[in-house]
Chain A
């Protein structure tokens, strides 16, 4: 019985490690000030899968009660995802349709719909 519990625990632990490593491998941190016009908040990150969905987790903002738009662009400024509106910071992933290519580098941009507060500092994680 004791053996079974130990092997089960090891198995669960291994699964957890594999799972979290998988997330860390794909998602990269972003942080930056967003204004009305799109501003770069996420540095160049490589597309490491062949999927058609990117993901954004907008986790914090220095202001409350506002929404934030995000978009992914290539290094030459061409838009490579749908524009996506996220209502509030959270740890949940918002998936976005992308036309990014495996092996190439992309940037995350953020924008406010209203000019009310010129710059909002946002942080989170994302994958192209």
Chain B
């Protein structure tokens, strides 16, 4: 019964992530603006179609959505870039569910199970890794589903100019132009597997010391969001170098020129190091 409930959590995460990507795609093609105005603004509705044609268009909602959808030139890279854009803000918030899950496990029935294990340190470490892995697989699966959707919608058509930056300093400047479809898998692996894994791990490690789920949620997000705010301020003061102190940049690295991949990733190694020491401290101080 318990196992079923947990599996449901991962399925819900998968569906939520996928749904956000799809809804965000519609936002970028101005769907909500147009549909909202069409429904609520009489003047807008009565003149609809006259913006660039002689005929007034009197559509029902379905026809209107179709009109907006077919009027857009869908490009594979553009769909992937902007459909996933919101995750630069919300991803750590979503994956901190791992910490909440783990906190629940640690403080309920599993607590006694854990203390009975011969090697408590291994048990805790494995459980945290497993929890983080499950969350990141859920998120990455949603990305893969969205990747396939983008491929279907665009027919694989790429924009003429949308160059990317991550990995190019390591794999060569022409890596993106040679293997664009593979590039987006690799980029997606970093953004939707590696990053969720790191911040799930971090949230789980924090749950070992937290007093309550609220504390787990707030503390696990403090690093990502706190550092982002600091980096925003620094960007205004010192300019582009501050992007290496901003954890959100890895989620939208294509916005900048000449990115140093290692430097950008090193910022996300800090939560792993902190997690390692937190887990170590916890297992050393538990009385079995």
Contacts and interface: CB of A to CB of B under 8 A. Distances in A.
A28 interface: no
A79 B235 contact: no
Interface in B205-231: 231
Given A65-B257, A74-B52, A83 B159 contact: yes
A97 B78 CA distance: 14
A4 to B, nearest CB: 45
A64 B239 contact: yes
Interface in A66-88: 66-67, 73-88
Contacts, number: 113
Given A83-B78, A100-B52, A64 B71 contact: no
A114 B228 CA distance: 12
A interface residue count range (under 10 / 10 to 19 / 20 to 34 / 35 or more): 35 or more
A67 B82 CA distance: 14
B11 interface: no
B126 interface: no
Q: Is the interface of A mostly helix, strand, loop or mixed?
A: loop
B89 interface: yes
Interface string A87-103: 11000001001011100
Contacts of B232: 116-117
A83 to B, nearest CB: 5
Interface in A95-128: 97, 99-101, 104-106, 112-117
Contact of B44 (A67, A76, A99, A101): A76
B167 interface: no
B257 A88 contact: yes
A86 B161 contact: yes
Given A113-B81, A115-B248, A116-B235, A77 B34 contact: yes
A3 interface: no
A63 interface: yes
A102 B88 CA distance: 39
A87 B162 CA distance: 8
B37 interface: yes
B51 interface: yes
Contact of B257 (A36, A83, A87, A104): A87
A65 B82 CA distance: 20
Contacts of B255: 66-67, 112-114, 116
Nearest to A99: B71
Give 10 closest A-B pairs by Cβ, nearest first.
Answer: A114-B255, A113-B255, A114-B252, A74-B51, A65-B240, A104-B52, A76-B51, A101-B52, A85-B162, A75-B51
Interface of B: 28-30, 33-34, 37, 44, 47-48, 51-53, 68, 71-73, 75, 78, 81-82, 85, 88-89, 159-163, 231-232, 235-236, 239-240, 243, 246, 248-249, 252-258
Interface of A: 36, 38, 63-67, 73-88, 94, 97, 99-101, 104-106, 112-117
Given A76-B47, A79-B71, 6 more contacts: A66-B240, A78-B30, A82-B75, A82-B160, A84-B159, A116-B235
